[in-house]
């Protein structure tokens, strides 16, 4: 809420042109998706929010195909079992219910992380994100994708610097 008040004040008095579509597309996204925006803002690492919102990392989130990626990831969370007959969403709801819907304690957070680590869910999510970047590489050239990295490494190894 504090950050939103600051943004509202700056929007009213900001003179530089800005892309409102970017701001609309990131509305409601968790700050962790925004490169830890809140922490970096509070540490005074971000002096200009509008310049921050123009950074290349944001392109993947403001691209029109991003909501479908988020929906696929949501379906993974809701559908993939991490325990017998239990999804990660079921486990979170169960822990929150036991905790009277208060913030999870450190032990519960560790248990959730262990559940995620022991499942293939994280790997599946990573695969979905890489697939999204690969499919949309023409519109998202600022992101490296596995086949591009492979080509770069192969050509790098063929330079005179690395040949015998």
What pLDDT was estimated at residue 110? 93
Residue 92 lies in a domain: yes
Residues 44, 95, single domain; the answer is: no
Residues 70, 46, single domain; the answer is: no
Give the residue-averaged pLDDT of 82-93: 86
Residues 37, 87, single domain; the answer is: no
- 40-43 own/partner pairs: CB under 8 Å, 24+ apart: 41/3
Q: Is it the case that residue 12 has pLDDT exceeding 50?
A: no
Q: 48-82, pLDDT tens digit by residue?
A: 877 887 788 788 888 889 889 999 999 998 988 88
Q: 126-149, pLDDT tens digit by residue?
A: 889 989 988 998 888 888 777 777
The CA distance from 163 to 34, in Å, is: 42
pTM for this one? 0.67
Residues 50, 80, single domain; the answer is: no
> What SS3 state is found at 32?
helix
Alpha-helix runs per DSSP H in 27-120: 37-42, 49-52, 59-62, 66-79, 88-98, 106-118
Residues 22, 71, single domain; the answer is: no
């Amino acid at each position: 809420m504090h950050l939103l008040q600051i943004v509202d004040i700056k929007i009213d008095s900001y003179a530089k042109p800005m892309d409102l579509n970017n701001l609309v597309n990131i509305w409601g996204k968790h700050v962790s998706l925004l490169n830890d925006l809140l922490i970096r803002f509070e540490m005074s690492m971000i002096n200009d929010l509008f310049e921050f919102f123009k950074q290349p990392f944001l392109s993947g989130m403001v691209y029109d195909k991003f909501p479908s990626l988020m929906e696929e990831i949501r379906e993974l969370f809701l559908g993939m079992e991490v325990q017998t007959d239990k999804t990660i969403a079921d486990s979170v709801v169960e822990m929150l219910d036991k905790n009277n819907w208060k913030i999870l304690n450190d032990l519960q957070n560790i248990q959730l992380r262990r559940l995620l680590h022991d499942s293939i869910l994280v790997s599946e999510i990573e695969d979905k994100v890489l697939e999204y970047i690969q499919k949309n590489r023409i519109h998202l050239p600022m992101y490296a994708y596995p086949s591009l990295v492979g080509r770069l490494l192969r050509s790098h190894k063929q330079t005179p610097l690395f040949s015998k």
